[in-house]
Amino acid sequence: MSEERSDMSEDEDGGGGVEQKERWGPSQGGGGCGSAKSRGGVWTDPPPPFSDQVLENVLENVLQFLVCRRDRNAASLVCRSWCRAEAQTRGELFIGNCYAVSPRRATDRFRRVRSVVLKGKPRFADFSLVPLGWGAHFSPWASAMAAAYPWLERICLKRMSIADDDLSLLAFSFPFFKDLTLICCDGFGTHGLAVIAEKCRHLRVLDLIEAYLEEEEEDQVVDWVSKFPQTTTSLETLGFDCVVSTVNFEALEALVARSPALRQLRVNHHVTVDQLFRLMVRAPQLTHLGTGSFGPPAALALQGDVMEHEADLVSAFAASKSIISLSGFRDVASQYLPAIYPVCANLTTLNCSFAEITADELKPVIHHCHNLQKFWVLDTVRDEGLQAVAATCKDLQELRVFPLNATEDSEGFVSDVGLAAISQGCRRLRSILYFCQQMTNKAVITMSKNCQELVVFRLCIMGRHLPDHLTKEPMDEGFGAIVMNCKKLTRLAVSGLLTDKAFAYIGKYGKSIRTLSVAFAGDSDVGLRYVLEGCPKLQKLEIRDSPFGDPALLSGIHQYYNMRFLWMNSCKLSIRGCNDVAQRLPRLVVEVIRDRPEADDETVEKLYMYRSLAGPRNDAPPFVKIL
Amino acid sequence: MEEEFTRGEGRPRLLDLIPNGRDWGSYAAAEEKKLELRLGLPGGEDWSAGQEKREHPVESALSLDHISKVRKSTNVNASSGTKRGFLVQVEPKTEGILIDNMTFQQQQLQQQQLGFLQLQAKGKESLQKTSGSAEQQSLEGKGCGPHAAHASSTKNAAVAHTASQSRAAATPVVGWPPVRSFRMNLAGTAKASAESHNGSSEAAKKLENDRKSLFVKINMDGIPIGRKVDLKAYDSYDKLSLAVDELFRGLMAAQVDPLAPSILKNSEEKHVLIGLLDGSGEYTLVYEDDEGDRMLVGDVPWDMFVSMAKRLRVLKSSDLSASSLRAVGRKRTSNS
């Protein structure tokens, strides 16, 4: 939910990570800097003598005000001394692909880093397309940072594999550690959490977002909540809604009671409504609340005695004047939902995307939410529910509508009607993720015209190759209108029946697009070619099950050094084409992933390629072949 | 949009998708000839063309379905507005078998006693473990699966693709729709335990009841490797107890002597697990219920037990009074 925190989601910011977008020529070498970011090695003038050091000192003082990493990247390219000065003053290190640079190289260049953001697996790993054990291990980074950054305060990881030992290393190596945010990570368990809780005395943020903790036997589950210091803590954010094991509630309650700085608390679904009430009483200053199950304890549910908690809950919410964000609602009993009315008017974020609520249940809630900016919901609210949203939430910036049944044949609860309604009512919409079963070009075109602020447009028509359900035409025109009219669009995900024409549109108009996701679309190589040749800002391209082959792959040779990665699976690629690319672009790591050992050698099931200064990685599992 | 559902064209060769040549018994072979490729309409409106053929392809197709170890049960073909339908790619060529509704398939499949198959209605069941580990295991273990279909479809995509983009949908595809497994797992849990809000949770309940096999993990103290038992394969506690005994006998013998033959002679039966249910033996059988509490096996009627038990454990009887009966309250998101 808080994906945009710490710039993890690069959709809205300037993007452009450590890697430089400009030419990544083979002539890398040289330069005092010439490493993770810049090209390096072009300057020919020797640095001026004597004043060099003075200049750098001045520069450092000035450059420390530069925060945005794109600005910093640009500054580092000016000349060698700027590069050095910038490296000395960079406080946050952002590595968009953990294999793009070796940990050692990064830590050698940037010496005074306090905050590290690291991303690992490609996004399609979320959909089980990347086999287990592929990589993105945090260990080498942990070791390198432990040695180089004793002052490190913050680590934010996305899609990395982290072991409990790594967490231990963190806890013991960084005495000033404050902030651990793990998004979609896996490999660790409660033991690692316990070490963090216990040893990081200055911890402010422990935020686990959609992490996959290791399955543990009952007797191995550690009561990590009890391990926090018994004195007043400095905790500001504690998010563990993805942790599947129960936590010791008494310990949690006590922890909340002695954490006066706590602002964000997201509990897991084992916390029932009566327990939630107790926590809220302890922490009336909360701004972000993840409500856990929001259902009654099991025993109570059986007796049907739910009224008892309702009154308590209402009073708790009434007393929580600061809440601006609500999430959780895992097992929501709809009779509890009205309890949140007191805070609705202040809500800027509401995530009820695990709650199967109907339009009628939603309406009274959403009616109060005038200030809502971010809304995640299940499609069970139907078009009608979305119409209610459109009627009230005029400031809505981000909408995500998830499917209750994520299958292709499920009954569609939302459709083009809902999308059109949203576009009518929420003119300031910037980001949308919409799962549906039927869509029309007309609705998409309407949205493209109404919502000019759109930065992220992700439409998932769940049935593959589905056309406009009224006209039976491909969805080319709809997506074409989006790229044409939404000038700020940087992220696009397409679906439905799409011909090469759609890609022609994207190539022609999608000049700002940085991330593109394609599935089951296109007719021929030409489609991919349009995109590779037409979208200069393209950074991340992920494609599945589309008829693009080697010629298309080769048409992007000029572009791949400018991109963070390309992922293609179940397309028409062959080993020859991939080898070709690998040979022509030596700084590109070309990984062919083969999960079935007996698959023939010619076809390439999964291709993942990315630019890298580190060369082929040495931790690749057997099913990965690096060309 | 036009799609080509080749009607009766070509003979899908099911067995091609099973690289290790696993024999699916008589079904596949016998029904091969009867496999009909057709386009079906949603909701069973007009099935005249396909009615009589449904029975046959269902079995084989569902075998295929099983091979694919799909979590999402069905695909939609891109017919005009059709959103229902179940297509199974049986061959590199772009044919698909359209089967109409899942419950029918379920019944068919259940008749075949493919006990290890876990079906799902509407893709709710979370076989999928987090991080796709199940996926990986399946792939490595079986050597076939969606990727069989994938590879085939990849290879023959050249054949498949026409300008009209009318490729018959393949077997239910991994990772599509692109919903994070985290969300799918948790949604499944929520649905199963939530009060009935709308029809979809009824489907979930129906799913729970219709399943004809319920595999739960069973671990034994002192043995690091667990087993799985199908609770629905037994109808009484005694039979379960016998089964547990058999399961672990070999393992226990192996513990003592790793080279011991798997078949025990009579004289070596000292490891027989008796008295599991009444506390009289060296070991006792306990289970973990859906609230996460550890309970003694045998108190409730068998059917109720089957519906509640999430995993089993064989404890040393001497440990009973100790921590083992403490309520743990730990829920698991995926059914064992």
CA A609, CA A564: separation in Å to the nearest integer? 9
Q: Can you give the pLDDT at residue B335?
A: 41
Structure tokens at A163: 């072991």
pLDDT for the residue numbered B311: 85
Distance, in angstroms, between B168 CA and closest chain A CA? 9
Q: Kindly give the interhelix angle for A476-485 and A441-450, rounded to the nearest 10 degrees.
A: 10
Rg of chain A over CA atoms, in angstroms?
25
Q: Backbone phi, then psi, for A251, in 5-degree steps?
A: -65, -40
Q: Specify the DSSP element, H or E, that contains B157.
A: helix B157-160
What is the mean predicted confidence (pLDDT) over A275-296? Answer: 91
Q: Do B132 and A603 touch (CB under 8 A)?
A: no
| Nearest chain B residue to A571, by CA | B154
Instruction: List A residues 371-410 in contact with B (Cβ-Cβ < 8 A).
Output: 378, 380, 402-410
Interval A582-625: pLDDT, tens:
999 999 999 999 877 766 778 889 999 999 999 999 999 988 98
Assess contact for B101 and A411: CB atoms under 8 A: no
β-pair type (A431-436, A456-461) = parallel
Instruction: Provide the pLDDT for residue B319.
Output: 73
Work out the minimum CA distance from A571 to partner chain B, whole angstroms: 6
**Selected residue of A271, A408, A459, A553 to mutate for chain B interface (largest B Cβ count, 10 A):** A408
User: Is there a contact between A429 and A403 (Cβ–Cβ < 8 Å)?
Assistant: no
Residue A51: Cβ within 10 Å count: 11
CA–CA gap between residue A398 and residue A383 (Å, rounded) = 17
- Confidence at residue B299, expressed as pLDDT on a 0 to 100 scale: 83
Separation of first and last alpha carbons in chain A: 37
User: In chain A, what percentage of residues exceed pLDDT 90?
Assistant: 70
Q: Identify which of B175, B164, B131, B169 has the alpha carbon closest to the alpha carbon of residue B149.
A: B169
Question: Above 80 in pLDDT, residue A343?
Answer: yes
Q: Can you read off the two tokens belonging to residue B214?
A: 């319920």
Q: Using alpha carbons, list the distances in angstroms from residue A241 to A207, A230, A405.
A: 9, 23, 22
Mean pLDDT of A561-579: 94
Q: How far apart are CA A448 and CA A450, in angstroms?
A: 6
Contact at CB, A244 and B332, closer than 8 angstroms: yes
Q: Which of A437, A502, A447 is nearest to A468 (CA)?
A: A437
ipTM of predicted complex: 0.81
B78 and A464 within 8 Å at the Cβ level: the answer is yes
* pLDDT score of B209: 41
The candidate with the shortest Cα–Cα distance to A536, out of A566, A565, A562, A572, is A562
Q: Of the candidates A246, A298, A356, which has its C-beta nearest B197's C-beta?
A: A356
Would the pLDDT of A311 be above 60? yes
> Smallest Cβ distance to A523: which of B84, B161, B175?
B161
- What pLDDT does residue B235 have? 80
C-alpha pair distances (Å), A135 with each of A15, A116, A213? 24, 19, 17
**Residue A44, both tokens:** 């020919």
Q: Would the CB atoms of A270 and B329 count as touching at under 8 Å? A: yes
Determine the Cα–Cα distance for residues B282 and A417; give it in Å rounded to an integer: 66
- A483 pLDDT tier (thresholds 50, 70, 90): very high
Which of A301, A409, A572 has the CB atom closest to B154's CB atom? A572
> In a structure prediction context, what are the per-residue pLDDT tens digits for chain B, which is 336 residues long?
444 444 444 444 444 444 444 444 444 444 444 544 554 454 444 444 434 444 444 444 344 334 434 334 333 333 333 344 333 333 344 333 333 444 444 444 444 444 343 333 333 433 333 333 433 443 333 333 334 334 343 344 333 344 344 444 446 788 888 998 777 765 554 444 433 333 333 333 333 444 456 788 888 888 877 888 888 878 888 888 888 888 777 777 766 655 545 444 444 444 556 677 777 778 888 888 877 788 888 888 888 888 888 888 888 887 766 544 443 333 333 443
3-state class of B139 per DSSP? helix
Query: Is A356 in Cβ contact with B201 (below 8 Å)?
Result: yes
Per-residue DSSP letters for A436-495? ES---HHHHHHHHHH-TT-SEEEEEESSTT---TTT---THHHHHHHHHH-TT--EEE--
Query: In angstroms, how far is CA A54 from the centroid of its own chain?
Result: 41
Residue A407 confidence (pLDDT):
82
> B276 exposed, middle or buried (CB, 10 Å; 0-12, 13-18, 19+)?
buried
Higher pLDDT, A382 or A32: A382
Question: Is the per-residue pLDDT at A422 higher than 90?
Answer: yes
Look at residues B291, B329, B193, B136 and name the one whose alpha carbon lies nearest to residue A133. Answer: B136
pLDDT per residue as tens digits for the range A136-164: 999 999 999 999 999 999 999 999 999 99
With cut-offs at 50, 70 and 90, classify the pLDDT of residue A348: very high
CA distance B269 to B249: 8
Q: What is the rounded distance in angstroms from the CA atom of residue B267 to the CA atom of residue A604?
A: 56
The rounded distance, in Å, linking the Cα atoms of B183 and A126 is 10
Contacts of B141 (CB under 8 A, 6+ apart): none
B324 or A333, which is more confident?
A333
At residue B103, the pLDDT reads 44
**Pick from B75, B157, B198: which is nearest to A547 by CB?**
B157
**What does CATH list as the number for A56-87?**
1.20.1280.50
Encode pLDDT of A509-524 as tens digits. Answer: 999 999 999 999 999 9
Q: How far is B235 from chain A (nearest CA, A)?
A: 27
pLDDT in tens, A106-142: 999 999 999 999 999 999 999 989 998 999 999 999 9
Please report the pLDDT score of residue B199 as a whole number: 35
Model pLDDT, residue B186: 55
At position A203, the amino acid (one-letter code) is L
Structural contact between residues B118 and B213, judged by C-beta atoms closer than 8 angstroms: yes
Q: How far apart are CA B252 and CA B272, in angstroms?
A: 9
> What pLDDT is stored for residue B257 in this prediction?
56
Cβ contacts of A361 on chain B, cutoff 8 Å: 197
Interval A301-323 mean pLDDT: 74
Residue A442 reports pLDDT greater than 80: yes
Q: How confident is the model at residue A564 (pLDDT cuts 50, 70, 90)?
A: very high
Pairing of strands A588-593, A606-611: antiparallel
Tell the residue number behind the tokens 């049960």, with chain if given.
B73
* Residue whose C-alpha is closest to residue A418's, from A393, A398, A392, A447: A447
Closest Cα partner for A550 from A516, A524, A522? A524
* Cβ-defined contact of A463 to B73 (cutoff 8 Å): no
Sign of the torsion formed by the C-alpha atoms of B122, B128, B131 and B135: negative
Backbone conformation region of residue B25, classed left if phi is above 0, alpha if psi is from -120 to 50, else beta = left
Residue B66: the pLDDT is: 41
| Contacts of A302 by beta carbon, 8 Å cutoff, 6+ apart | none
Helix, strand or coil for residue A162? Answer: coil
Q: Residue A501's CB: how many other CB atoms inside 10 A? A: 18
* Chain B environment of A212 (Cβ under 8 Å): 130-131, 182
Closest to A427 measured CA to CA, from A402, A446, A441, A413:
A446
pLDDT per residue over A397-409, tens digit each? 999 999 988 887 7
Structure-model confidence comparison of residues A2 and B283, the more confident one? B283
CA B238 – CA B144 distance, rounded (Å): 37
pLDDT at A70: 86
Query: 3-class secondary structure for B190-229?
Result: HHHHCCCCCHHHHHHHHHHHHCCCCEEEEEECCEEEEEEE
pLDDT of the residue at A36: 41
| Percent of chain A clearing pLDDT 70 (strictly above) | 89
Chain B interface, best mutation among A293, A461, A570, by max B CB count within 10 A: A570
Per-residue model confidence (pLDDT) at position B134: 38
Which pLDDT value is given to residue A44? 52
SS3 content of chain B, % helix, strand, coil (to 5): 40, 10, 50
Q: Which residues of A touch B157 (CB under 8 A)?
A: 547, 571-572
Matching residue, tokens 């008494």 = A250
Write out the H or E segment, with its range, that includes residue A424.
helix A416-425
**pTM for the complete prediction?**
0.67
Q: How many CB atoms lie within 10 A of CB A195?
A: 22
Q: Where do the domains of chain A lie?
A: 56-87
Please give the domain boundaries of chain B with CATH numbers for all domains.
211-255+271-321 (3.10.20.90)
Most confident residue range from A25-34, A207-216, A424-433: A424-433
Residue A46: the pLDDT is 61
**3-state class (DSSP) for residue A168:** helix
- Tell me the C-alpha distance between A322 and A317, whole Å: 10
